[in-house]
Structures are given as C-alpha cells and as structure tokens.
Amino acid sequence: MKERLLRPYLAAKAPLYGAALLAIALGNIVQSLYPRVLGEFTDRLQQEALTPVLISRSALMLAGIALLYSSLAGSGQYLIMRLGRNFERLTRKRLFKQFTRLSEAYYAKHGVGSMLSYVLNDVKSVREAISAGFNQTANAVILLGSAVVMMALSGLPLGLVAVCVSPLLLIPPIVVYFGPRIRERSRHAQEELAAMTESAEEQIGGMRVTQKFAVEPMMEARFGARVDGVYGSQLKLVRLSSLFQALLPFLGSASLVVTLAAGGYHALSGGITVGMYVSLTLYVRLMINPLQQIGNVINTMQRSRASLERIQELLASRPDIEDSPQAVELPQRADIAVRGLTYRYPGSSRPALDRVDLDIRHGRTTALIGRTGSGKTTLAKLLLRMMEPPAGAIRIGEADIRDVTLRSLRGSIAYVPQDGFLFSTTLGDNIAFSKRDATESEIESASRQAMIYEQARQFKEGFGTRLGERGVTLSGGQRQRASLARGLVKEAPLLILDDSVSAVDAETESAIVSSIRRVRAGRTTLVIAHRISAIQHADEIVVLDEGRVVQRGTHEQLLREDGWYAELASLQKGGMDHGGQGA
Amino acid sequence: MADKAPEPDAEERRQERRQDRQDSPPASGSAPDGAERTAWRGLLSYAKPYRKTFAGVVACTVIAISADLLQPFLVKIAIDDHLMGGSGELGPVLLLAGLYLALSLLALAFSYWQSLLVQRAGQGIVSKLRKDLFRHLSRLSPSFYDRMSSGSLVTHMSGDTETVSQFFTQVCLSLFRDGLTLVFILFLMFQLDPVLAGYSLLLLPLIALIAAGFRGYMRRTYQQSRTRLSRLIAFTAENLSGMNLVQAFRQEREQQRQFEERNGSYYEANLREIRTNVLFNRSFDLLGNLSVAFVTWLGGRAVYGEGLEFGVLYAFITYIRQFFQPINSITQQWNTLQAASVSMDRIWKLFQTRSALPEDASADAAELERIGPGAVRFQDVEFGYDPQQPVLRGVSLDVAPGETIGIVGTTGAGKSSLISLLCRFYDVQRGSVSIDGVDVRHIPLARLQRIVGLVQQEPYLFSGSILDNVRLFDPSISEEEAREACRFVGADRLIRRLPDGYGTMLSEKGSGLSAGERQLISFARIVVFRPSILILDEATANLDSSTEQMVQRALAAVSAGRTTLVIAHRLSTIMNADRILVMRSGSIVESGSHGELLGKGGYYARLYRHSQGQPDSGRQPAG
C-alpha cells in the first residue's frame, strides 16, 4: 500500500512548474540562436561582406542573447529549486505528524536512527531528484531539443544532421544498462556506511567498558573492519559510475568526429557553406554538455526512487491505535475494571500478562508490585492505550477502553514513567508539558510536591534553566523528580506512577511518598514499584509474578500471609533483627 | 536528554562547563582562519602517502582534457587550411577526424582512470582518518566523554569524515580537472592570438571580484541553514525518543507546531541560500556569454581590419565559452568545500584534544611485580571536577587485601569520585591513591584497568554473541574460559536455555535479556578478566529485589578473595560488608560494621530507618 506523494504535489504546483519550464525553455531557445548568429557572421565574412556595422550588430545580438538567457534560465532555476524545497518542507511536516501517530509497537521495531533518516536523508534525496534533477533535465532536454530543431531550421541537410547525431542514440541503452547496476552498488555503499555509523555509535557508547577492560586493540579491529567495508563498497561503486560518466561525453566526441568528417565532405563538395559547417560543429558541441547532465540526473533519480518509496510506505502505514467509530467520552468518576486480561507482545511466546483481574477504584490508591518483567509496565501502557488491549478486557465504568476517545482517555491520565525522560527545553517547560499555560505558582507547587523545587532554586535561572545537551544535565534521581512534577501538574483524575522514584535515595523517597499521599487524597492513583517502601500505604496492593496476579490485599494483610510479598518485605528490611552479624 | 548522569557531581561540573560551551562558536566555519589552516595542513599529511597517486591523477587529467580542448583547434585547421582556402581535398579533413577520434578514445580511458585514482586515494585517506580518529578517541579520558555527547561524536566519526571524503571525490576532482582545463585554455588562446588572449585576461580580475563579493554572503547563508537544520534534527531526534510521553500527554499537536516552526525557519534559510547560489552561478554564466559577444566584436574588427584568420576567431570564441565551464563547475563545489572545511576543522579539534591523564608509568618492573594482593590506600585525597569546588576533602582510607567495603551516602557525597580516582578516570588534586604501595599514576593505564575491575549500574553489551561479550572479542581468551566464568556466576543455565546458547546475538538495544541477566553477563566478564580489585558502582540498583538476590549470589562468588568496594544507596546491598563507610559532603563521617553503625545511632542508623519506611517523626511532612 502506498500513499502517492510526488504526483499530487507536482499536479498542485503544475502552473508554477510550467512557468519555470517555460522560462528555461525560452532561455535555451534564445541560447540556441547563438550558433546561428555566428554562422551568418561567418558566411558574411566569407562573402567578404563584413562591415563594422555588421560586426557590432552581431556582437550586440550575442550580448542580448547572453542577458536574456541568464535571466530566463536563472529565474526558472530558482523557481524549481524553491518548489523542491517546499516539497521537502511539506513532506517533513507530514512525516513528523505520522511519527506522532504511530504507536509503541512501531517504535519498538524501529530505532530512532532509522526514523530520523527519513527526515534527513530520504526527503533530501527526493528533493534533489526533483529540483536538481528537474532543473538539469529540463535544461538538457530543451537544449538538446532546440539544438536539433535549430539544426533542422538552419537549412542543413537533414540526412547530414541525422548522421552527425547518430552516436548519441546509444545513450538510452547505455543508461538502461548502467542505471540499475549503479543503483544497486550505491545502495550497498549506503548500507556499509550505515553499518559503520552504527558501529561508531555502539563503540562510543561502550567506550568506558572498552577502556576499563583495556581491550582497545580488539575494538579498533572491529571498527576497522567496518571502515574497510565502506572503502571496498565505495570503490566498487566508483568503478562502475566512473565508466558510465566517461562514456557519455565520449559519445558526444564521437558525434563530433562524424561531424568533422561528414560535414567536411559536404562543405568541400559544396553541399553546405562553411558558415553552415561552423554552426553544425557548434550545434553538436552544444549537445555534449546536456548529455553529460542527463547521465548525472539519472544517477540521482535512481537513488531517490528508493527513498520516495520508503517515505510513501511509511506515510501509508496506518496507526494501529485510533478512535473507534463509536468512540465515547471517558466516563467520569468511574472505577476501572480489568478482567481476564491476557496480553502477548508480537513475536513472543510467553504472555506478558496472563488472565489478570484488577480493580482500580475511583479515589483510591492501588499498587502493583513485582519483579522485573512481571508485566507491571505492560499494564500501565495498556491503560494508556499505548498498546491495544484485547476487547472487553479493560472497562472504565460501562465503557470498553477501546471505545473511549484517545483524547479523553489520555487527557485524564498523568503518566510518570521510570526513565524520567525530559526534553531539552527549560525545566519549567518540561514541568508544564501537558499544561503549557500553567502559572508560575502551579509549576512551583508541583515541583515542591515532587521535591525538585529546592534543586530548581539552586540553578541560576531557576525554572528557566535549559536542560539537555546545551544546558544542564540532571542526575537520574533529579530527572525522575522533574518528570514526577510534570505528572503532578496535570492534576489528572488518574495518576500512574511507573517506578517513578527508583533512582531517588531512601530519604527523599519517603518524603515524596508522603507528599503524593497528601495531594492525591481522594483521587485515583496507580503506583507501580518494586520497593515496598513506595507502596505500603496503598489501599490495595496487587502482586504480579510472570504476568499473573499471585497475591492481593493491604500491606498488613500481605505481611501476615506467607508468600512472595512477605518474603520480599523481609528481604528489603534486611538484617533488622540480626543486624551486625554480617561483619 | 538521553545521556545519563548517575551522580550530581557530574552535573555540577557540567554546569560549570556549560558556560564555555555556550561561548564557544557554534560548530561551523566561523573558526579563525589560523585553525582552519592547521586543519588543512593536517589533512595534507594524510594525503602525503598518496603523492604518486595524485601525480598519476594529474597525468591522466592532462590527457583526458586534451581531446576536449584540441577539438576547436582541429576545426580551425580544417576551416583555415582546407575549407576556406587551400587544397579543398577531403583526405586531410578525414585525417583530422581520425586524429580527433583517437584523442577521444584516449580521453575516455584516461578520464576513467583519473576518477578511479582520485577515489582510491580519497577513500584510502578517509579510511585512515576514521581508524586514527577512533584510536585517538579510545585514548581519551572520561572527562572528555563527560563533555561530549555521544551523538556529536558519532557525527564526527561518520558524518564529518564522509564530508571530507566528498572533498576528495568531488572538490579535488573538480579542482584537478577544471583547474588544468583553465590553464590549458589560456595556453591555447595565447597560441592562437596573443592580443585577443591578452584582452581575455581582463576577465580574471572580474571573476575574482564577483567571487569575493559573494563569498561572505554565501558563507553566512550556508551557515545559517546548517545551524537551522541541526536544530530541526535535534528536535526530531528528541521527540522520537520521547514519543510515548508526547502521546501520553496528548501533546502531538503542540509538538507538531514546534516542529513546523523549526521546519519553516530552515526552509526560509534554504531559500536565502538558493537565491544567493543562483545569482552567483548566473553571474558567471552571464559574464561568459558577454565575453563571447565582446570577442566577436573585437575579433570581427581584427578579421575585418587586420586580416585575422577566421578560423582563429572561431577557435577563440569556442575557447572563451569553454573557459567558463570549469569556472562554473569549480564554483558549484563551493558548498562542498565549505562543508568539508567545517568538518575538517571539527575532526582536527578532536585530534588535538589530549587525554587529561598524562601517561607516566614510572613504576619500575620490581614495583609492578608487587601489585597483586590488592591493598588500596587513599592518602589525604583532595579532588574536585572543578578545582575550585572540591568534592573530596582530604579523604584517607586503607583497604586490606580481600576486604569488602560498603560505601553509602546521599547523592553528591563523593562516593563515585572516590572510585573514579581508583580507576584513574581522573587524577587527584592533592594526596595520592595507591595499589599495593604503587601510586596509580605510575602504573601504565592499560595495566591499571586490568587490575581494577568495575561493574556499573547499566551493563553495556556490544553487538555480538554472548561469548564475545563475556571475553570482549579478545581472541586470547578461550571459549572454555568464558564458559567457565559464566558457570561461576550462575549464568550458564540461563544462557544454555537461550535458542542459540552462547552464540546468541546480543546488542545494546533489544537484547531480549532482562536487566538482571545482562548484569550477570557483565559479572562473567569481570571473572574472565580477573581483576585483583573489584568495584561495584550501584551494580544492583536497577534490579528488583528478587533478581537482586540472584545477582547477590553471583557477587559473593566474584568478590570472594578479592578486594571489593561496593557503592549502593540501598542498604540491603551492603549490610554484609566487612566495613561500611558513610560519606557526607566529601568526607568519611562514619565507619564500622552494620551492627556497630546502628549502635552509634548516627546518620547510618537514620538512613536505615528511612529504608524501612519509618522516617523519624520530626521530619515527617504534614498530612
């Protein structure tokens, strides 16, 4: 399935493209008058009819041709390049929009690097083909065409013209032969380059390990192999493309050889004047450059066709999570009921969640605890519909979660993920991410609740401090707290804390837990954690293990019960009663 | 914000450096010419081994362009000697055509060889550059990696070197071919008619004037569009990484708007760049065509008045047109040249970065021989990432061989700095760190790194098999040794359950292993490399408590008989250590076993209560 991209754009901009082509065409037609002027000039000279006036007139005509050609061709060229850039811009916009619609499943399969390369490389390659390509092809084709027409009009015998340009007829078969082969090799070269980039990325990411184990020579050898791969594939490409690019001008030269001989014969036998002979050689010369250009353009086009297809494919892929036709608004103040929820990641044999039953009651705090890989985060993502739960498994009030509009569902949930991802804008902008018009005091109070306020005040620019590569880098714990403030500012009916304070030290954690309990009193909260200290106050604690609910109850109930929870509690409490024996 | 900063110390020093970075010029060509010149000289030293190849390229170029350039000359002979006057026989004309055919064939062969040779040299240079750059990077100290994001390093490694390679394949080729063409044309024009040629020389200052006029403007527009593009890319990359947040918070539309803002401003910059380029190229075009008109006028009068042969005028007109072709194609290389110059500059700056850790290695063989048992001594160590802000203030510590030390403290207390000094990621400002009586600064770095083993919070896996990851691609470590290590840490059973066993391919992303399993592999790595001192820096922080148990068992196996330093903010990890150190703002404030410290009722005891979810009542927030 494909979404047409290029054709509609070209169709929409047809008048402008038409104008550009017209300008280039006129420019070239004007330019092809030039051999004619010189030819006449020669004939007059031979007839000894040359006068100073005639000389000046010829010179002026040539100057006029120069001016007209430059302005016409220049404006046509500008117009076409501008249209190309505009296409690039529109396509980028659509790509980004598509990125925001694709779901978790897509992101899990594709790396950021490969998605970025759509915006960066593919779009560029298509743009180059349609602007540089359009430009040069138009130029070349028109120049060729007008040269042929002018030759025909100049009174040269058609048979002679045909003989002179005959070597040029070999160009299409040569292009057809070389084109796909060059494309194949250039694709291979691109792949090698991508592999090298990937290797560089990995090696730099693991530099600390490499240095720590002093295995630099091994890693140099690994990276070196990738570099050699690029070298080899590039040379393979060059061998072919150089031959191709040398062949095309050769055909032009061959035409000139024929012209010299055949034209000379006709001039000597009186078939044509010397002036016609002069313009004939000039015409053939005029044709050589455009032919070379066509060769270049074909190479560019070959490369860009694959890119265009890639973009079209991406744009055509339907986001797998969308509002259903009968979507309703999210019911207010409703309990969330999870019944028999089984979820399997694509390509995985074991279900991540296995027949899970769970109630998240309105106004209460529910907690999920379990080891890594027990399915806690999967459940959170299903609640947000980042991934699609099976029909009927999750209900909010009366409505199946799949029949709730995404806008109202996600609008009512504040999600605080474990990784504490922040954008490289200011700290304040990050906190006010879901509420761009949040007041200073709203940001302040959320950051107090998340225990990041003191930190923010220590920065010179406070909440206006820029984060990220060009600004301040926060520690893992600080990022988690800022991300928590971002969730709290939303004041959403449902707050999901997905292991949100795991990188925060124990002292700060207990302060955060108390402050969240305070601000979320009477509102629904789902806490996911693997530390008991983070969840012990919850109204209900559900223990997940390998995707199944193994225990549920309050902290006190679960402590009394034999099982995973009590075991974990004693583990985390550690040598409380037998402290000191470890020494 | 993809990069991780496990310790706020790191953050502090980043804040400090932020200032310099903002002051430094944006990565573009605005560096002073001096720096650029050095960069080019550096590149030239890479080209040196290819001297002969480049000489071959020049030779090929001369032959390749001669056919093209002699053609008008041959037509001139045909016109003047055979068509307009002379014998009027066909034979000599055919001979001329044959000569031209031979020349063309030569041109075909030699222009092919020429571009092949140029590419071979260019790609060879770039390969060498890439390998050298990587070797250089792997020698740089951690303080360098604190400063540089891995993203921009990757850009240097692949993007910038690729641009430099374009310099060879496009700019160099064009300079050779077009430069020589120009020289040839001038030569031929003087051969034909010195007076007319003299007039044509007037063109040169004109061309220089146009080029100079456009140069600054083109540079500015080019830089502007480059900067805006990199902003657009950075924005996109970041949003792709954080897309789940954008979606969870329903900010798609707002982010689209911000994207469009950057997209639009890049577009504007592009248009400005295009306008400049089109104007620039067209003014040369125009100049070329006007010159033809001028020569026609001048030459026509000469033919009329002074009996200049018409064939000469014909050839002259053709040459003057050809004269502008190479100039045009050289100017089209302008952008590539500029990009290459910027890239070269950046690569060169990297090459000039020196490791912050001078290789001293003054320890003699006898001293190095002594190293083994793993006694560690910190003596009055003072250290700060910024010397003005000490992170460690006079820390002294003696660790006996085989002892296990636990280190706790709030973030920023200096725990990680302590171990960074032991690994010699940084050097002390005062005092010394020594292993078995030898100052770490005197031990060859590679040797030191094998003596001190470090396991961090995030195990890093390279793309390769499990086996490769355990022995880190070191062929001197046998497969059996690696398997033995995995058995030792208890990873063997788990690995053999995988579909390809030890051959299972891993990668940094999506290895299909859990955090605990990945950590186990990094433990096996440590076992294989047999360090005498082991450091665990939050090695179990990302694991949940039960996975942690499995890892703890592996840990106990690994640390047995080894000097071990464990950093954790979860007390359960270090409660069983021989000795626990409590650090606060750069000093060791408490020291003793778990029991002893609880008995003291100090900071450790309070920390312990917090970890049990029982904050002391006085500090409990209201509500």
On whether any CB of chain A is under 8 Å from the CB of B444, the answer is no
Residues of A within 8 A of B104 (CB-CB) are: 250, 253-254, 256-257
Q: Give A45's contacts in chain B (Cβ within 8 Å).
A: 303, 310
Please check whether residues A313 and A351 belong to one and the same domain.
no
ipTM, 2 dp: 0.82
CA nearest to A240, candidates A194, A305, A302 = A302
Q: Could you read off the pLDDT of A271-282 as tens digits, one per residue? A: 788 888 888 888
Task: Count other C-beta atoms under 10 Å from residue B149's C-beta.
Answer: 16
Nearest CA in chain A to B592: A583
Q: Is A326 inside any structural domain? A: no
User: Which secondary structure element, helix H or strand E, spans residue B465, and what is its range?
Assistant: strand B464-465
- Token couple for A241: 């493309």
Q: CA-CA distance, A123 to B173, in Å (whole number)? A: 27
| Residues A544-555: tens digit of each pLDDT | 988 899 999 999
Would you state the pLDDT for residue B580? Answer: 92
Same domain, yes or no, for A72 and A169? no
Would you state the structure tokens that stand for residue B449, as one six-digit string?
A: 């790194």
Q: Which of A469, A499, A508, A509 to mutate to test the interface with B (most CBs of B within 10 A)?
A: A469
Q: Are residues A411 and A548 in the same domain?
A: yes
Chain A residues close to B613, C-beta within 8 Å: 510, 532-533, 536
- Domains, chain B: 33-229+278-352 (1.20.1560.10), 365-611 (3.40.50.300)
Q: What are phi and psi of B145, to 5 degrees?
A: -75, -20
Q: Picking from A563-567, A577-581, B271-275, B501-505, which range would have the lowest pLDDT averaged per residue?
A: A577-581
| pLDDT, tens digit, 9 for 90 and up, residues A199-230 | 888 888 888 888 888 888 889 999 999 999 99
- Do residues A393 and A413 both lie within one domain? yes
Residue B531 or residue B74, greater confidence: B531
Burial class (CB in 10 A: 0-12, 13-18, 19+), B257: exposed
Among A89, A239, A257, the strongest candidate for a mutation testing the B interface, having the largest count of B CBs within 10 A, is A257
> Which CA distances in Å does A337 have to A251, A340, A345, A374?
77, 10, 22, 20
Confidence of residue B265 (pLDDT cuts 50, 70, 90): very high
pLDDT at B512: 63
Same domain, A128 and A172: no
A116 to B233: CB separation less than 8 angstroms, yes or no: yes
- State the Cα–Cα distance between residues A331 and B55, nearest whole angstrom: 80
Q: What angle do CA A304, A310, A314 make, to 5 degrees?
A: 145
Q: At B614, is the pLDDT very low, low, confident or very high (cuts 50, 70, 90)? A: low
Q: Percent of chain A scored above 70 by pLDDT?
A: 94
Q: Which runs of consecutive H residues, i.e. helices, occur in A206-317?
A: 207-212, 216-258, 264-268, 274-316
Residues A431 and A541 in one domain: yes
Distance CA B232, CA B9 (A): 31
Helical (H) or strand (E) element with B559: helix B545-559
> How many Cβ atoms sit within 10 Å of the Cβ of residue A149?
12
| Cβ of residue B5 closer than 8 Å to a chain A Cβ | yes
Residue contact A203–B134, C-beta within 8 A: yes
d(Cα B485, Cα B529) in Å, to the nearest integer?
Answer: 10
Cβ atoms < 10 Å from Cβ of A562? 8
Specify the amino acid at residue B78. A
Q: Length of chain B, please? A: 623
The confidence score (pLDDT) of residue B262 equals 94
- CA-wise closest residue to B125 among B40, B43, B57, B39: B43
Least confident of A515-519, B151-155, B190-194: B151-155
Instruction: State which residues form the domain around A60.
Output: 1-155+295-318
Whether residue B116 and residue A242 make contact (CB cut-off 8 A), yes or no, is: yes
Q: Which residues of chain A neighbour B513 with C-beta distances below 8 Å?
A: none
Q: What is the mean pLDDT of residues A317-327?
A: 85
Higher pLDDT: B525 or B30? It is B525
Q: Is the pLDDT of residue B582 over 50?
A: yes
- Give tens-digit pLDDT for A144-165: 787 778 777 877 888 888 888 8
Q: Residue A525: enclosing H or E segment and its boundaries?
A: strand A524-529
Q: Is residue A110 part of a domain?
A: yes
- At residue B542, the pLDDT reads 60
The tokens for B134 are 């990587």
Tell whether A287 is covered by a domain: no
How confident is the model over B182-203, as a mean pLDDT? 85
pLDDT of residue B88: 66
Query: pLDDT tens digit string along A458-480?
Result: 888 889 988 876 667 777 788 88
> pLDDT band at residue A493, thresholds of 50, 70 and 90?
very high
pLDDT band at B268 (very low <50, low <70, confident <90, very high): very high
- Among B329, B346, B332, smallest CA distance to B218 is for B332
Picking from B116, B245, B286, the nearest residue to A66 by CB comes out as B286
Nearest CA in chain B to A257: B97
pLDDT band of A481, cuts 50, 70, 90: very high
At A180 the pLDDT is 81
- Shared-domain flag, residues A51 and A130: yes
Percent composition of chain A: helix, strand, coil (DSSP 3-state, to 5): 65, 10, 25
Query: What pLDDT is stored for residue B29 in this prediction?
Result: 37
Chain A neighbors of B419, CB-CB under 8 A: none
Q: CA–CA separation, B211 vs B200, rounded Å?
A: 18
d(CA B302, CA B316): 13
Distance in Å, alpha carbon of B517 to nearest chain A alpha carbon: 11
List of chain B residues whose C-beta atoms are within 8 Å of the C-beta of residue A186? none
A150 belongs to a structural domain: yes
Q: Write out the DSSP string of B7-74.
A: SHHHHHHHHHHHHHHHHSPPSSTTS-HHHHHHHHHHHHHHHGGGHHHHHHHHHHHHHHHHHHHHHHHH
Q: What kind and span of H or E run contains B564? A: strand B563-567
User: CB distance A209–B542 less than 8 Å?
Assistant: no
Asked whether residue A379 falls in the same domain as residue A490, the answer is yes
The upper half-sphere exposure of residue B462, i.e. CA atoms within 13 Å in the direction of its Cβ, equals 25
Task: Name the token pair of B457.
Answer: 């919070």
- A168 and A252, same structural domain? yes
Chain B hits for A67, Cβ within 8 Å? 286, 290
Mutate to test the interface with A, among B111, B230, B247 (most CBs of A within 10 A): B247
Q: B52-70: b or e for each residue (b if 16 or more CB lie within 10 Å)?
A: ebbebbeebbbbbbbbbbb
pLDDT at A525: 95
Q: For residue B549, give how far its alpha carbon lies from the nearest alpha carbon of chain A (Å).
A: 9
Asked whether residue A277 is assigned to any structural domain, the reply reads no
Q: Say if B107 is an interface residue toward chain A (CB within 8 Å).
A: yes
Taking the Cβ of residue B300 and every Cβ of chain A, the question of whether any pair is shorter than 8 Å is answered with yes
Least confident of A127-136, B85-94, B101-110: B85-94
Among A318, A351, A381, where does a domain finish?
A318
- Considering its fold, how many domains does chain A have in total? 3
Given a cut of 60, is residue B109 above it in pLDDT? yes
Q: Are A8 and A88 contained in the same domain?
A: yes
Of B78, B138, B254, the CB nearest to A260: B78
**End-to-end alpha carbon distance in chain A:** 68
Tell whether B268 lies on the interface with A, counting CB pairs under 8 A.
no
| CA contacts within 13 A on the Cβ side of B604 | 29
Distance, in Å, from the CA atom of B508 to the CA atom of B419, rounded to the nearest integer, reads: 25
State how far the Cα of A582 lies from the Cα of B272, in Å rounded to an integer. 72
- The chain B residue lying nearest A224, using CA atoms, is B131
Residues of B with CB below 8 A from A502's CB? 541-542
Helix axes B33-47, B334-352, angle to 10 degrees: 90
Residue B596, burial from CB neighbour count under 10 angstroms (0-12, 13-18, 19+): middle
Q: For B479-507, what is the mean pLDDT?
A: 84
Distance to chain B for A271, nearest Cα, Å:
12
> How many angstroms away from the CA of B38 is the closest CA of chain A?
25
Q: How confident is the model at residue A343 (pLDDT cuts 50, 70, 90)?
A: very high
pLDDT digits (tens, 9 = 90+) for A290-301: 776 777 777 677
**Chain A nearest CA to B391, separation (Å):** 16
Residue A284 lies in a domain: no
Residue with tokens 């040779």: B117
pLDDT of residue A571: 66
Q: Do A421 and B599 touch (CB under 8 A)?
A: no
- pLDDT surpasses 80 at A453: yes
pLDDT bucket at A376, cuts 50 / 70 / 90: confident
Report the run of H or E that residue A196 belongs to, with start and end. helix A171-205
| Mean per-residue pLDDT, A229-257 | 88
Report which listed range, A3-7, B231-235, B314-318, is most confident.
B231-235
Identify the CATH number of the domain in which residue A109 sits.
Answer: 1.20.1560.10
Q: Which two tokens stand for residue A416?
A: 């605080």
> What digits encode the pLDDT tens for the residues B198-222?
888 888 888 888 888 888 888 888 8
**The pLDDT of residue A471:** 64
Which among B233, B286, B508 is the nearest to A202, CB-wise? B508
Residue A395: both structure tokens together: 């209900």
Please state, rounded to an integer, the average pLDDT across all residues of chain B: 81
The pLDDT tens digits of the residues spanning B411-446 come to 667 888 888 899 888 889 999 999 998 998 888 888
Q: Is B509 exposed, middle or buried (0-12, 13-18, 19+ CB in 10 A)?
A: exposed
Residues 6+ apart with CB under 8 A from B22: A470
Residues B286, B287, B290, B296: what is their CA dihedral angle, to the nearest 10 degrees?
A: -140
Q: Is residue A276 in a domain?
A: no
Residue in A214, A407, A476 nearest the CB of B250: A407
Please, where are the H alpha helices in A13-111?
Answer: 14-31, 33-46, 52-101, 104-109
The tokens for B518 are: 């990945």
In this structure, the answer to whether residues A361 and A390 fall within a common structural domain is yes
Calculate how close chain A gets to B394, using CA atoms only, in Å: 25
Q: Which of residues 203-262 of B touch A (CB under 8 A)?
A: 232-234, 236-252, 254-256, 259-260
SS3 for B288-320 is: HHHHHHHHHHHHHHHHHHHCCCHHHHHHHHHHH
Q: Which of A338, A255, A250, A248 is nearest to A296 (CA)?
A: A248
B254–A223 C-beta distance less than 8 A: no
Q: Inform me whether the C-beta atom of residue B63 falls under 8 Å from chain A C-beta atoms.
A: no
B227 neighbors B26 (Cβ within 8 angstroms): yes
Nearest Cα residue to A477 out of A447, A502, A511: A502
CB contact under 8 A, B108 and A278: no
Q: Are A319 and A102 in contact (CB under 8 A)?
A: yes
Q: Is residue A278 part of a domain?
A: no
Residue A409, phi then psi, degrees to nearest 5: -65, -55
**pLDDT single digits (tens) B16-74:** 333 333 333 333 333 445 566 677 788 888 888 998 998 998 899 888 888 778 877 88
Instruction: Judge contact between A467 and A427, C-beta under 8 A.
Output: yes
What does the block give as tokens for B54? 């480049």
The two three-digit tokens of residue B451, written as one number:
């003596």
Contact A497, A516 (CB under 8 A): yes
Q: Closest approach of chain B CAs to the CA of A60, in angstroms?
A: 7
Contact state of A215 with B472 under an 8 Å Cβ cutoff: yes
Pick B289's closest partner by Cβ from A70, A469, A582: A70
Complete DSSP assignment for B3-20: S---SHHHHHHHHHHHHH
- Does B254 contact A436 at a Cβ distance shorter than 8 Å? yes
Query: Quick one: pLDDT at residue B26?
Result: 37
Query: In this complex, is the C-beta atom of B551 within 8 Å of any C-beta atom belonging to chain A?
Result: no
Distance of CA B76 to the CA centre of its chain: 55
Q: What is the full DSSP assignment across B67-136?
A: HHHHHHHHHHHIIIIIISSS---HHHHHHHHHHHHHHHHHHHHHHHHHHHHHHHHHHHHHHHHHHHHHHH
Confidence of residue B15 (pLDDT cuts 50, 70, 90): very low
Whether residues A385 and A482 share a domain: the answer is yes
